[in-house]
Amino acid sequence: MKFRITVPATSANIGPGFDAMGLALSLYNRFEINQADRTKVLGCEEQFAGPDNLFLQAFRHAAGLLGIGVPEIELTVDAEIPLARGLGSSAAMIVGGVAAAFVAAGMGGEGFDEDEKRRIFEIAAALEGHPDNAAPAVFGGFCSSILKNEDSPRAFYARCSVDPNWRFHALIPPFELSTRKARAALPDSIPRRDAVFNLGRAALLALAFQTRRLDLVTAACEDKIHQPYRAPLIAGYEEITRMCEKTGARAVWLSGAGPTIMALSSGGAGTKELFAVLNRELESRPEGAWRQLALRADDTGLKVEVS
C-alpha cells in the first residue's frame, strides 16, 4: 500500500460567512502514506509526530467508521500551510487523515468519486465541529456549507468555481493565534441588527462569487459577528487592513480565526502593484516582518494518487 494525498489551504469566513463559507487556495499539504511495521510520522516537528497527530487521529476515527482495522503506516508530511495562522492547517490534516482511511478501505484507486468525497467531507466537518474549511478542502472553489443535527451531524454544501484571474494575498504575521483563543474572544450573543447585517452580506457574497462580480464582493465583504472581537488579538490588524484598502485591495478579511489577513485583488497590473506595496510595508512592522503570498483559488480540492 502506497499512496499520496494532497489537500489545499483554505480561507474561511470571508467576512460575513462565519463558520459557513470558505475557499480553497493554491497552497498545499502533501501526504505520502506507505505500509509499515509500526506507525511513524516523518517530515514534521517532533511534537507533532506522536499518536496525537491530527492526521493519525482522523485516520483512526474514519477507519473505525468504515469498519476496517487500523493499519500501521509510515506518514511523510510535506506541509506548505503554516500552523495556527487561519489558513486551514488543521482541516488539511483532518481531511487528509479521513481520505487516507478511505484509501485503506479500498476506495480512491482512480480518484474519489462524488459520493466518496461527500462522505469524507461529512466526517471531516463533524471532527472539526464546523464545515467552512472542510468543504473547500475537499471540493475546491468557493463553498457555502452547514452542519445539521448536533447529536448525529450531517453536512451539506454548495460550491462554485472562483474567477481564475482573482488573486488572494495572504498576509501572514510572525506570530500564531490558536482557534481556541480566537473563539474565546467571541461574545455569547450578538445584537439582532448585527445578525441582520451579516445575513444580508453573506447571501450577497455567495452570489457574488458565483457570478464573479468583484464589485459585489467588495460591497458584501463586511462583518460584525467575529472580526471586531478578534481584531484586538492581532497586532497591526487595523493598520494593515486600512493599508490594503488604500492600496487597491478589492476586499479584505480575517482569514479563518486569524491571524492571517486576506486581501483580494483583480489580477494583472493591480495585483503586481498591491503585492509590491504590501511587501515594502510588511517588512518593517514593529511586531516583526509579515510574509505575503499571492495565491490563486484552487478549483480541485482533495486529490489522491495510488501507486
All three cell numbers of 63: 477507519
On the question of pLDDT at 151 being above 70, the answer is no
Indicate if 8 and 120 belong to the same structural domain: yes
Indicate if 197 and 60 belong to the same structural domain: no
The bridge status of strand 303-306 relative to strand 291-295 is: unpaired
Indicate if 128 and 20 belong to the same structural domain: yes
Indicate if 23 and 153 belong to the same structural domain: yes
- pLDDT tens-place string over residues 212-234: 999 999 999 999 999 999 999 99
Indicate if 143 and 282 belong to the same structural domain: no
All three cell numbers of 144: 457555502
What would the mean pLDDT of 138-161 be, rounded to a whole number?
91
Kindly give, in sequence order, each residue whose CB lies less than 8 Å from that of residue 15, ignoring residues fewer than 6 positions away: 201, 205, 220, 221, 222, 223, 227, 251, 253
Return the percent helix, strand and coil in the chain, to nearest 5: 40, 25, 35
- Sign of the Cα torsion 108, 114, 115, 116 reads positive
Indicate if 126 and 65 belong to the same structural domain: yes
Residue 260 belongs to domain with CATH number = 3.30.70.890
CA distances from 54 to 62, 129, 258 (A): 12, 14, 20
- pLDDT tens-place string over residues 191-204: 999 999 999 999 99
On the question of pLDDT at 237 being above 80, the answer is yes
Indicate if 149 and 180 belong to the same structural domain: no
Indicate if 260 and 217 belong to the same structural domain: yes
All three cell numbers of 142: 468557493
On the question of pLDDT at 46 being above 90, the answer is no
Residue 23 belongs to domain with CATH number = 3.30.230.10
Helix, coil or strand: residue 180: helix
On the question of pLDDT at 129 being above 80, the answer is yes
Measured CA to CA, the distance from residue 97 to residue 102 in angstroms comes to 9
Nearest to 289 by CA among 174, 207, 171, 144: 174
- Residue 284: predicted pLDDT: 84
Q: State how many domains the chain has.
A: 2
Indicate if 150 and 9 belong to the same structural domain: yes
Indicate if 26 and 146 belong to the same structural domain: yes
Range of the domain at 50: 2-161+298-306
Measured CA to CA, the distance from residue 172 to residue 106 in angstroms comes to 39
- Residue 150: predicted pLDDT: 66
CB atoms within 10 A of CB 252: 22
Indicate if 80 and 191 belong to the same structural domain: no
End-to-end CA distance of the chain: 8
All three cell numbers of 285: 512592522
Indicate if 200 and 145 belong to the same structural domain: no
Model-level pTM?
0.94
